[in-house]
Amino acid sequence: MRETVMAGVGMHPFGRFEGKPYTQMALEAVLMALKDANVPWKDVQAAYCSSVFCPATSGLKILTPLGLTGIPITNVEAACASGGSSIMIAQQAIATGLYDVVLALGVDKMPRGFISPEALGEKWQVLAGMVSGPMNFALNARRHMYEYGTTVEQMAKVSVKAHKNGVFNPYAMYRKELSFEEIMNSQVVADPIRRLMFCAPNEGAAAAVLCSRDVAKKYTDVRRCPEVASAVVKTAAYPGFPVMPYYSFSTRKKLVSPVKLAAREAYEKAGIGPKDLDVVELQDTDAASEINLYEQLDLCNEGEGGRLVDEGATEISGSIPVNPSGGLLCKGEPVGASGLGQVAEIVWQLRGEAGKRQVAKPKVGMSQVVGNGGICAVVILKN
Amino acid sequence: MRETVMAGVGMHPFGRFEGKPYTQMALEAVLMALKDANVPWKDVQAAYCSSVFCPATSGLKILTPLGLTGIPITNVEAACASGGSSIMIAQQAIATGLYDVVLALGVDKMPRGFISPEALGEKWQVLAGMVSGPMNFALNARRHMYEYGTTVEQMAKVSVKAHKNGVFNPYAMYRKELSFEEIMNSQVVADPIRRLMFCAPNEGAAAAVLCSRDVAKKYTDVRRCPEVASAVVKTAAYPGFPVMPYYSFSTRKKLVSPVKLAAREAYEKAGIGPKDLDVVELQDTDAASEINLYEQLDLCNEGEGGRLVDEGATEISGSIPVNPSGGLLCKGEPVGASGLGQVAEIVWQLRGEAGKRQVAKPKVGMSQVVGNGGICAVVILKN
């Protein structure tokens, strides 16, 4: 297997952009990534485009104005894990020697409001009374409280941290600090989760140019190109239907969460452990999920996620900074783009280009996204 | 690169199945393919699912009832070329040694009626008066008539041939011979194309198990597993926006059609030429497209497609049988599944299992699909 590097990344801000087509947002992210890598479009040998809400062959439509060069352009989708899945396939293509230079991009322009499980094809959830995504998240949060004594206050602190970081991220939708009280007193959407503990579905795009290390040298200074140490996608392991799948509570011992599986395989492939991570971008669709994901990613033991928050360990200045970008709580989540947006942030962090949200001299970073609770993508980048 | 074989294929009939969920149709095709390959589900190491109209993470939803085993499940989309794109990525994964056993599946459950360009995100086409797919096809057909003297009668003969073959295909939606007069006298949908010269968007599923040849031996008799000699996806090559892209008329010399690019690369990779083909399944969304595709695939020179029809060369008994399955004109086109359905037909033909629609002792077969006119997938299978 050849070494794969992130030669360049680009991002269109996440937010709401009325009247701006998804093709234009994505093209801006692509042009930024190509420029960052110093790779001309004509040298790109394959492209993988992630989107959930954009129309068929969106990758082709986005890239057509650059002049079509005959390369394969494939859309890759795994709900919220779409971007990470594109990166996995792109990395496999470079590592195995199929191509030397590939493009992964992600974009979405989502309808306003919470996503109904029905929109994702889960009619049974709606029949069971779970009429929106937040109800799922709330049940997960309640269960975590019941099992481990996690508190609503700890969830609020996650959101405080996110908004403190997001102020310094020009690509984030919400760039305003929020106080603990504001968050606690915001509307309860689905108990225990308040409005200001949720991320917003929105619009945006991100892109990355992946190369073999040897070929990257032709274009750019490879010292600013982190290695893709691993890019892993896993589904859950469970002999049956995984309701609320990414938990693995004592009552559901049979389920192995896709997050755990992906993280552990990614650590193994990268030859590192969770203690070696210097910075993490994870899928904080809501503040309680972030706490749970600390545990799923082995940043701490099961049940200790709340304690990690209390200790400030995941602050930018903490022992394992999580979501220095402000996370999805500040950026919002255009599902096709979020994984690639995380990877752009990790690249900037590893290069020391993250400005006032910069983590101190990180060497190893991780991105994690999970789609429909059942498919997780983890990418580990190393300087 | 390792040799990849089609270890097994499966198909759910294409048609209309009110009340039957897409997950069930797809699962039936998957179980048939696994049984055909004699591969247990637990041995599958990755899955690629193609769909355009099914919800996000449809692959995960389809495969969950088999018991989740943790493998990566990725949705792959390229409009009508989705199935061929899944096969390309699956074949690359086997050939490069990433995996030994993978599953490619395709499924769709499409709304009734013609597809509007707007549904595919092409608002500019609607503004230009092209309110449905058939208008695109009709303009292409008219241009072919103008350039090469192709006749409506030749188009009708393509449909006669398709329906003669489709009678013998248990997976086809329309299984009734149609006379030349019936076709010519059917309603003109978009001049020159009549209703009985169009394929129907519909529902269905198909699946294939791909293995390295060495690993396939563990499961099955490899003599019944055709080699995947090439699996290629190409976009058009054109320095600008490709209107009606898969034509390359004299007036638009700058455009190189994705079909030509894909076919030529597929021939080269397989080490064969068009004369070596014994059977072809191509994307006859309408009868005129079939004539044009003969030329794009180099089955004849440009402008000679109509003559090929008159000579009966593409009949089952002809020199180069095309669409012995009855093609999309008889099967209908569930877009995510159609490429995999073609590959299933080619496998059955190469094994001599195609019953009354069997081509005489074929050794080499081709499948071809094209998505949104701009992305073409070609798969060549060899005994």
Q: Report the range of poorest mean pLDDT among A342-346, B256-260, B322-326.
A: B256-260
Residues A211 and A302 in one domain: no
Q: CA A53, CA A58: separation in Å to the nearest integer? A: 10
Q: What is the CATH number of the domain that holds A317?
A: 3.40.47.10
With beta carbons under 8 A apart, name residues in chain A contacting B72. 85, 88, 232-235, 375
Yes or no, beta carbons of B70 and A237 under 8 Å apart: yes
Identify which has the larger pLDDT, A199 or B128.
Answer: A199
Contact A237, A35 (CB under 8 A): no
Q: Which residues of A173-195 are buried (b: 16+ CB within 10 A; e: fewer)?
A: bbbeebeeebbbebeebbebbbe
- pLDDT value, residue A376: 95
B212, B361: one domain: no
Is there a single domain that holds both residue B13 and residue B63?
Answer: yes
> Which residues of chain A fall below pLDDT 70?
238-255
Interface A-B: count of C-beta contacts within 8 A: 166
Domain-located, residue A329:
yes
Specify if B58 maps to a domain.
yes
Task: Give residue B250's pLDDT band: very low, low, confident or very high (50, 70, 90).
Answer: very low
**What's the pLDDT tens digit per position in B266-320?**
999 999 999 999 999 999 999 999 999 999 999 999 999 999 999 999 999 999 9
User: Is B180 part of any domain?
Assistant: no
List, as one string, the DSSP characters of B67-110. Answer: -EE---EEEEEBTBTHHHHHHHHHHHHHHTTS-SEEEEEEEEEP
CB-hemisphere CA count at 13 Å for B279? 31
Based on the fold, state whether residues B301 and B236 are members of the same structural domain. yes
Q: Where are the alpha helices (DSSP H) in chain A?
A: 22-37, 58-63, 82-95, 123-127, 133-148, 152-166, 180-185, 213-219, 258-270, 287-296, 305-310, 327-331, 335-351
B80 carries an active-site annotation: yes
Integer Cα distance of A304 and A315 in angstroms = 16
User: Minimum mean pLDDT among A318-327, B355-364, B369-378: which range?
Assistant: B369-378
- Is residue A109 a contact partner of residue A203, using CB atoms and an 8 Å limit? yes
Please determine, for residue B251, whether its predicted confidence score (pLDDT) is greater than 80: no
pLDDT tens for B8-67 read 999 999 999 999 999 999 999 999 999 999 999 999 999 999 999 999 999 999 998 898
Cβ atoms within 10 A of the Cβ of B114, count? 17
CA–CA min distance B162, chain A (Å): 28
Q: Domain end: B227, B242, B259, which one?
A: B227
- Across the interface, which of B71, B256, B261 has its CB nearest the CB of A235? B71
CB of B39 within 8 A of CB of B247? no
In a domain, B142, yes or no: yes
Measured between CB atoms, does A43 come within 8 Å of chain B? Answer: no
- Report chain B residues whose CB lies below 8 A from the CB of A69: 235, 237
Q: Which residue of B has its CA nearest to A54?
A: B121
Q: What's residue B136's pLDDT? A: 82
Higher pLDDT among residues B118 and B95, named by residue: B95
Of B54, B73, B372, the CB nearest to A57: B372
Domain that holds residue A304: 129-196+228-382
Tell whether B212 and B85 lie within a shared domain: yes
Q: Is residue A40 part of a domain?
A: yes
**ipTM for the complex shown:** 0.95
Same domain, B218 and B348: no
The reply to whether A304 and A222 lie within a common domain is: no
Q: Identify the active-site residue in B49, B80, B211, B300.
A: B80
Catalytic residue set of A: 80
Q: Are residues A178 and A139 in the same domain?
A: yes
Asked whether residue B120 is domain-assigned, the answer is no
User: Chain A neighbours among B 54-113 (CB < 8 Å)?
Assistant: 54-58, 60-61, 64-65, 67-79, 85, 88-89, 92-93, 96-98
Min distance A261 CA to chain B CA atoms (Å):
7
Based on the fold, state whether residues B142 and B266 are members of the same structural domain: yes
Q: Which two tokens stand for residue B162?
A: 């398709």
Within a domain: B372? yes
Q: What is the mean pLDDT of chain B?
A: 93
Does A239 share its domain with A286?
A: yes
What is the number of structural domains in chain B? 2
Cα–Cα dist A315/A309, whole Å: 8
